[in-house]
Amino acid sequence: MVMINLVLDLDTGIDDAIALSIAAKDERINLLGVTCTYGNVTVDESAYNTLSLLSLLDRSDVPVYKGRDRALLSSSPYIPHEAGRKIHGPKGSGDITLKESKRSIEKINAIDYLSSLMMKRDDFTIITTGPMTNLASVLSSYPTLSSWKGKVIFMGGALTVRGNVNHFAEANIFKDPEAAKIVVESGLDVTMIGLDVTERTRLYRTNAEKWKDRGSEIGETLGSMLDYYIDNTLGMDETYVHDPSAVIASLHPEYFSFLPFPLTVETEGLDRGRVVVDEKRLLDRDKMVKVALDVDRVKLEGFLSSFDRYL
């Protein structure tokens, strides 16, 4: 069995929690560490939630690092929007309170951790499910890492569909367009898992019921969080599969259909936060992003349906 080495960069709300659980429990994944960012919650809340969930997942061996608390060009820490608080709950865990972990975040910050690890090895994938400020900070501070041979998968963007913040922009990109622009133009091996595919798949109320039926604390916790998320997104009995899709893509790229594009991100005007194809670089074959444009819904939802065996 081939192991996949992962580092997750999370703004740990509800769908991040599910993505984290897959990465922490799937036997094919070696979770090297988690770096925390802002977005659904503050960076401090993200770190708290991540530590708590890893304890419930019996993965207190996974180190957790605190990253940037604001966008690259922001002069003050990020304050979550009211809409995000409604979707993910007051602290990012729905209507339940996660138990405080007995351990703390690592002493070094996320930027130092990521840069050091990237300089030492390139046999791992970085998955981001929030604003890409941490990774962009690394690339800005250490230009030589533009030749890094590892992989990046980000959940964010909307190339062929409407955004979820406005007509154009997806939330993760919108919160720090400058950071996203740095990453997609970096020349690294980058894959985009955007709304183009995450809105074509579903998590269901039946998933939450199966998780809670396992009788474990983590199953009850994730099931309750998913119930809340469903109630505050699509409602009825289903919701989108945003962040978990990025982790699943690392395990099963064959579930997705990709096309390479020279992407950029608009940073000004009404289009701010919009991911677009850079017409100036259409012939530049060296800096392409693999964009997921279709997904095998049956297979991806089947994966999620069987995930309860780990809980």
pLDDT, residue 86, reads: 94
- Single out the residue of 69, 71, 72, 64 nearest to residue 108, CA to CA: 64
Tokens of 112: 């130092």
Q: Does the reported pTM lie above 0.95? A: yes
Place of tokens 């969080």: 225
Report the pLDDT value the prediction gives residue 243, as an integer from 0 to 100: 98
Q: What is the set of domains in the chain, with CATH numbers?
A: 4-310 (3.90.245.10)
User: What is the structure's pLDDT at 283?
Assistant: 78
**Tens digit of pLDDT at every position of the chain (311 positions):** 779 999 999 999 999 999 999 999 999 999 999 999 999 999 999 999 999 999 999 999 999 999 999 999 999 999 999 988 999 999 999 999 999 999 999 999 999 999 999 999 999 999 999 999 999 999 999 999 999 999 999 999 999 999 999 999 999 999 999 999 999 999 999 999 999 999 999 999 999 999 999 999 999 999 999 999 999 999 889 999 999 999 999 999 999 999 999 999 999 999 999 999 998 888 777 789 999 999 999 999 999 999 999 99
Report d(CA 141, CA 135) in Å as an integer. Answer: 10
What is the per-residue pLDDT for 58?
97
Q: Measured between alpha carbons, how far is residue 109 from residues 134, 241, 309 in Å? A: 10, 29, 34
